[in-house]
Structure 1
Amino acid sequence: MMICGIWAAKWTILLVFRAADDTAYRLDGLEDGPPLVLIHGLGLSSSLWQAHLPALCARYRVLSYDLYGHGQSAPAERPLALSVFADQIARLLEETALGPAHLVGFSIGGMINRRVAMDYPHLVRSLVILNSPHDRGAQMQQEVETRARKALDRGAEATLQAALERWFTPEFLASNAEIPQQVAAWRLQADRASYGQSAWVLAHGVRELICPVPALNVPSLVMTCAEDVGSTPQMSRDIVAEIAGAECQIIPKFKHLGLLESPEAFIQPVLDFLQRV
């Protein structure tokens, strides 16, 4: 474990440790609190959780980190797959001696935490799956694969503007330019090859999560936004149907990044769920 001093801008969380695989991470909150891991989405960084950290840190020992090739983490030494991202979390929990932990994942992060529950069930206390996909159907699957090919061929900038329009409501884009601009900066900061491979994992990895065998049996909260066209309310309900005892909550109005448009709409349901488990 190596401490690294990194300057923190207004919208950047200071990641103060580097794991053996060059993953950048930090630990916050109660030293003796239940451990909780935050897993960000494609093209983002651990700074996604900045607005949520104060409430979480009041109750939990919070580990936030950057996916391989994102933010301040180095690219992986092998081709990316959901299992590789799951291994990244397992190694972090081993190095920090924090497992088992609550795993909170957004978008591809909600795919990764499901993969961790499949591969390392002993490391998982509960799952919070936010705005994460399930079976898309043929047409949407083709659209997602097309975007992934563009990302592989031309990098994150190839689909940036369309992504922002899918992720934020028009009203928010018009009146809160700073946050979408920061999201764009995170996306463009990602290592190009890692971003492309991660986009392909987002496109194809969902197939290995559908009807898992054995079925997942872990306390789970599945949430999405009513207007999220890529991780739809029906997808959340389908995920819930495959996890015994899972709960579902649909947040009105917002699109994919309602997590940033309205942090308060997410944090209280998450805290309430974690308190129950």
Structure 2
Amino acid sequence: MQVNINGIETRYVLSNEGGGPWLTFIHQLGGDLSVWDQLAGYFRNDYTVLRYDLRGHGKTALSREAFGMADLSHDLASLLDALGAPTTHVVGMSMGGMIAQQFALDHPSRVDTLTLANTFGGTRPESRALWEQRAASVREGGMASLVPSTMDRWLTPDFQHAHPEAVEPIREVFGHTLSEGYAMACEAVRDFDVRSKLGTIRCPTLTVAGRHDTGTPPADTQAIADAIEGARFELLDAAHLAPIEQSHRFAALLETFLERPV
């Protein structure tokens, strides 16, 4: 389905077989809503599951101007408004987790629970250049130049070898992401920092990290849990896409959390 959100044609998929509470999944930088296919299938009988493509990703149009996490948070709020969802459980992975944090800060009354996977609360000053370099690289050489290193960072070698059927769609989506959409999102990550505000989040929060995640070390995700009162931290045997690599374990953690939030 497509809907115009803040002047941008946005693709979303709504699975509401169960007609239950809303559960929204937000994908990673260089991904699209398909990364959540398996988990959406798991939860759709008990929840109204929403997935969507971020600006310049998947089948959502490219933004005409630069944007930050606050704009992406506003996109989610506008999408929920368009679909008639007053509140939702929110699950965000990587950059999706940054959007989820921003959304919880901007719209606290609309978040039932918050689940943050393989993400951090802010880009350190010394890391800003890395995101600028990544944006420049794709603008100059396209996405193909980043595919091998990204897959190796996202998924462990063992998982890539054992599950090529899961890896190939992720690789294909990344390689076909619009270079400018990816670059603009990199600049949004570069400027993201809500670490000083995390203590104001009051909703039940679950954070999940990957033991082998070199892009977002587990300590960065645990720092979010430490900053939010009552938040829970879990470590999975995975790399950066822990909810995908350890999908059964992640689903079990999320199911328990949604039923009995901390």
TM-score over 0.5 for the pair: yes
Within 5 Å, give how 1:236-255 maps onto structure 2: 236-252=221-237, 254-255=238-239
Residue of structure 1 in register with 2:169 after alignment: 182
Q: Is the 8 A contact 1:27 1:62 kept in 2?
A: yes
How far does residue 189 in structure 1 lie from its aligned partner after superposition?
Answer: 2.0
How far does residue 177 in structure 1 lie from its aligned partner after superposition?
Answer: 2.8
How far does residue 66 in structure 1 lie from its aligned partner after superposition?
Answer: 0.6
Residues 222/214 of structure 1: CA separation in 2 closer, same or farther (3 Å cut): closer
Q: Deviations over 1:242-277 (max 9, x none)?
A: 11211110112x111232223102111011111113
TM score, norm. by length of structure 1: 0.86
Q: Is the 8 A contact 2:28 2:93 kept in 1?
A: yes
Q: In structure 1, what is the Cα distance between the partners aligned to 2:97 and 2:82?
A: 22
Q: Is the 8 A contact 1:39 1:65 kept in 2?
A: yes
Q: In structure 2, what is the Cα distance between the partners aligned to 1:199 and 1:219?
A: 28
Residues 80/135 of structure 1: CA separation in 2 closer, same or farther (3 Å cut): closer
CA RMSD of aligned residues (A): 2.0
SS of aligned partner of 1:211: helix
Pick aligned residue for 2:47 from 39, 60, 71: 60
Residue of structure 1 in register with 2:104 after alignment: 117
Q: In structure 1, what is the Cα distance between the partners aligned to 2:184 and 2:146?
A: 15
Q: Is the 8 A contact 1:34 1:60 kept in 2?
A: yes
Q: Which amino acid aligns with 1:97?
A: G
Within 5 Å, give how 1:203-218 maps onto structure 2: 203-205=190-192, 207=193, 209-212=194-197, 215-218=200-203
Q: Is the 8 A contact 2:143 2:176 kept in 1?
A: no
Q: Is the 8 A contact 2:153 2:213 kept in 1?
A: yes
How far does residue 119 in structure 1 lie from its aligned partner after superposition?
Answer: 1.3
Q: In structure 2, what is the Cα distance between the partners aligned to 1:199 and 1:175?
A: 30
How far does residue 231 in structure 1 lie from its aligned partner after superposition?
Answer: 1.7
Q: How many percent of aligned residue pairs carry the same amino acid?
A: 25
Structure 1: 5+ residue runs without aligned partners?
Answer: 1-15
Moved more, 29-38 or 109-118: 29-38
Moved more, 168-177 or 218-227: 168-177
Q: Is the 8 A contact 1:69 1:195 kept in 2?
A: yes
Q: Does 1:265 align with 2:249?
A: yes
How far does residue 211 in structure 1 lie from its aligned partner after superposition?
Answer: 1.5
Q: Which amino acid aligns with 2:207?
A: V
SS of aligned partner of 1:23: strand
SS of aligned partner of 1:244: coil
Structure 2: 5+ residue runs without aligned partners?
Answer: none
SS of aligned partner of 1:236: helix
Residues 248/214 of structure 1: CA separation in 2 closer, same or farther (3 Å cut): closer
Q: In structure 2, what is the Cα distance between the partners aligned to 1:151 and 1:202?
A: 15
Residue of structure 2 in register with 1:192 after alignment: 179
Matched positions, count:
259
Residues 266/31 of structure 1: CA separation in 2 closer, same or farther (3 Å cut): closer
Q: In structure 2, what is the Cα distance between the partners aligned to 1:59 and 1:32?
A: 7
Q: Is the 8 A contact 1:80 1:194 kept in 2?
A: no
Residue of structure 1 in register with 2:63 after alignment: 76
How far does residue 241 in structure 1 lie from its aligned partner after superposition?
Answer: 1.5
Residue of structure 2 in register with 1:11 after alignment: none
Q: Which amino acid aligns with 2:246?
A: S
Pick aligned residue for 2:11 from 15, 24, 38: 24
TM score, norm. by length of structure 2: 0.91
How far does residue 133 in structure 1 lie from its aligned partner after superposition?
Answer: 2.2
Q: Deviations over 1:21-68 (max 9, x none)?
A: 311112103453111111000111100011111221121111111111
